[in-house]
Structure 1
Amino acid sequence: MCTEPQPTRLDRIFARLDREPARPSLDVPRMTRHRVVLFGATLTFYITIVLAVVTTSWLVRVDWQAMLFRPYQQWPEVHAFLDYWVVLGQRGPTAVMVTAWLGWRCWRQHTLRPMLAFGTALLLLNVTVGAVKYGLGRSGPHYATEVGSNEMWHWFQAGSDIFPSGHTANAVVTWGILAYLASTPRARRYLSALSAIMSLSVGLTTVYLGTHWLSDVLLGWAAGLLVLLALPWLEPLISRAENLLLELRDRWYARGRAGVPATTPLMPVGTPAPLPATVGTARESAALDAAPMEAAPMGAADETPPVHEPAASARTTHTTVCLAPAPHPATADRPAVTPAGTRRPPHTDRADRTTGRGTTPPARPLTANGQRDT
C-alpha cells in the first residue's frame, strides 16, 4: 500500500515562506554618512576607555571609589529586585525571548533576514568582546588584589574576564537589534529609546551588585553599539546567506519530491498481496506441466509430450501484474482417469481351472428334428 508522505513541520514553514510569489521589500539600513560618523566617534570612545584603564588614569580611581561605596549596602531594599533585573543582560534568556519574536517576524514577512541579522550580530559580539576580555585579563571588584591598581594582565586568575562588561554589551545588542529591524521609522525611534534604557539599567545594576567596574560598563556600551553600527556593512553578506539557504531548501525539497513513488489506489483490507509477474508465470507453467500427466493414461505420455513455455518469455517481461492466487481444484472436480486396459497380468492356470470346473461347454448346433447333433 503506497500513500503520499505527510508534510512535516519544516515543510509547512517553508511553504509559508513561499506562499507569496515575491517577498515584500524591507527597509534595510544602509551605511550612511551619519552612521559612519557615529561609528567613528564610538570607536574613538572605545579606544579612549581602554587607554585610560591601561594607564591607570583618573577613571581607575573612579572605579575604586564606586566599588568602596558599596551601593548594595547603601540601598539593600532593591537588591532582590535587581538580582532578577540583571538577567535581562544574560545572553541565554534574552536570546530565547528575542529569537521567539524574530521567528514570528520571519513567519509574517516571509523572509529569513531577521534571524540571520540577529545571529550575525551575536557572532560578531562574541568574537570582539571575547577577544578583548581574554586579551586584557582584568580582574573584577570581588577579585581585586591591590587598592588603586587597574587589575590588568591577570590571565590565569579567577574572574579575570570582566573587561568589557558582557552583560552590558549583550543588552545593547539584544534589545538594540529590535530597533535595527523595525519596519517603520516611528517604531525604530521607540525601540531605540527602549533598548537604551534597558542597556543602561542593566549596566548600572552590575555596578550596584559589585560584579563590574564602572569602566567595564562604559566599554560594554561602546562594544555593543559598535556591533549595531557595523551591521549595515554586513547586509550584503546576510542577503547572500539568505539566498543560499533558500536555494538549498529548494534543492532539498525537489530531491524529496523526486524520490516519492507514484500514488497507487488503496486496496481493501483482506485483499491478498499482489504477486510479481514472474511468480504468476511460473505457476502457470507448473500447472501446464502437471495437467497432461494427470489426464493422460499410462503409456500415452510418450505419445503426446507436454508443451513447455520457453523460459525466456517469463524473464523478458517487466510489467508488474497483480495476480490473485488461483484456488486449488477439489478432488471431485478433477477429471477421472480411465485406463485403456487392465494392468493385471493374465493367469493361464486360473483360466484352465475355471473352464474345467464350472464353465458350461459351448452349445451344439440343432438338427432338423430338434435334437442336438452329437
Structure 2
Amino acid sequence: MSTARSGLFGKVEFTVLLAALIVAGGLWGFVELMELARDSAPHGFDTEILLALRTPGDLATPIGPHWLKEAMRDLTSLGSAAVLIYITAAVIIYLLVARKTLAAFFVLVAIAGGQALNSLLKLGIDRPRPEVVPHLAHVSTLSFPSGHAMMSAVTYLTLGALLAQTVPDRATKIYVLSVAVLTTFIVGVSRLYLGVHWPSDVLAGWCAGAAWAMLFWLVARWARRTQAASLKPM
C-alpha cells in the first residue's frame, strides 16, 4: 500500500513540476523575445525565415504546391477568434450541463483572461506587422505576440489538459495532449507561411499561451483538490 501511494505521489509531483517548468520557461522565453521585438530593426532570423517560405524572385508566391496556400488559410482559421469562441462556448455549455460548474468557470476565466492579456501585450509592445513579404491573409491588429499562436495555445492546451484528466489510460492522455500541441503548432506555422507575423511573434505567442494555460491548470488542480477535501466526511 505504501509503495503504491509513493508511486502515485511521485507521478503527481512530476506532473506538477513539469507544468511549473513550462510556466517558468514560457515566461522566460517571452521576456527574451519581447526584448527582441522592441528593437527598431527586425532580427536576422525573423527575416530569413519569412524569405525562406517564399519563391526566390517572386515574394508574393509561397513555396510548395499550389493547394498549400489555401490549406494554410483553412488551418489558420483554427486559431481565429470565431472558431475559438465557438469551441470554448460549446465546451463551457457541456460542462454546465454536466454540472461541472468549477471546470466551466476555470475554462471561461482561462480563455477570456488569455484574450485580454494578448490584447494588452499587443498594445504594450506596439510592433507593426512584417512587410518583408506580401501578406496572404487579411490582418488589422498589431504583430507581437501572435494572437492566433497565443490563443491557440491557451485554448487547445487548456481544453486538452482538461480532457486528459477524464480519460483512464496513459496512451489516450498522450494522444489528447499531442493533438492539442500539434494544433497549436500548425496554427503558428500557418501565420508564418501566410507572412502575417514575424517568427518571434509566433514563438512569443506559444510561450505566453503555454505558460498561461499551465498556470491555470495548476490553479484548477489546486481548487479541485481543495473542494474535494472539503466534501470529505470528518
Q: TM-score, normalised by structure 2?
A: 0.72
Which residue, out of 78, 82, 106, partners 1:88?
Answer: 78
Question: What is the percent sequence identity of the aligned residues?
Answer: 19
Does 2:80 correspond to 1:66? no
Q: 1:86 to 1:34 in 2, by over 3 A?
A: closer
Aligned residue number for residue 167 of structure 1? 148
Amino acid at match of 1:136: I
Partner-residue secondary structure (3-state), 2:143: coil
> 1: CA distance between counterparts of 2:140 and 2:88?
28
Amino acid at match of 1:93: V
> 2: CA distance between counterparts of 1:37 and 1:196?
16
Shift of 1:102: 4.2
Unpaired runs of at least 5, structure 2: 1-11, 55-60, 134-138, 228-234
Aligned residue number for residue 120 of structure 2? 131
Does 2:105 correspond to 1:116? yes
Q: 1:205 to 1:221 in 2, by over 3 A?
A: same
Which residue, out of 5, 16, 22, partners 1:32?
Answer: 16
Once the two structures are superposed, what CA deviation does each residue of 1:26-47 show, in whole Å capped at 9, x if it has no partner?
xxx9993332233212211111
Once the two structures are superposed, what CA deviation does each residue of 1:39-61 show, in whole Å capped at 9, x if it has no partner?
2122111111112333468x711
Contact 1:42 1:225 in 2 (8 A): yes
Q: 1:32 to 1:113 in 2, by over 3 A?
A: same
Shift of 1:166: 0.3
Q: 1:61 to 1:88 in 2, by over 3 A?
A: same
Unpaired runs of at least 5, structure 1: 1-28, 145-157, 243-374
Shift of 1:173: 1.6
Contact 1:106 1:112 in 2 (8 A): yes
Structure number, greater radius of gyration: 1
Q: How many residue pairs are counted as aligned between the two chains?
A: 197
Q: TM-score, normalised by structure 1?
A: 0.47
Once the two structures are superposed, what CA deviation does each residue of 1:248-304 show, in whole Å capped at 9, x if it has no partner?
xxxxxxxxxxxxxxxxxxxxxxxxxxxxxxxxxxxxxxxxxxxxxxxxxxxxxxxxx
Contact 2:152 2:187 in 1 (8 A): yes
Aligned residue number for residue 9 of structure 2? none
Shift of 1:227: 0.9
Contact 1:176 1:191 in 2 (8 A): no
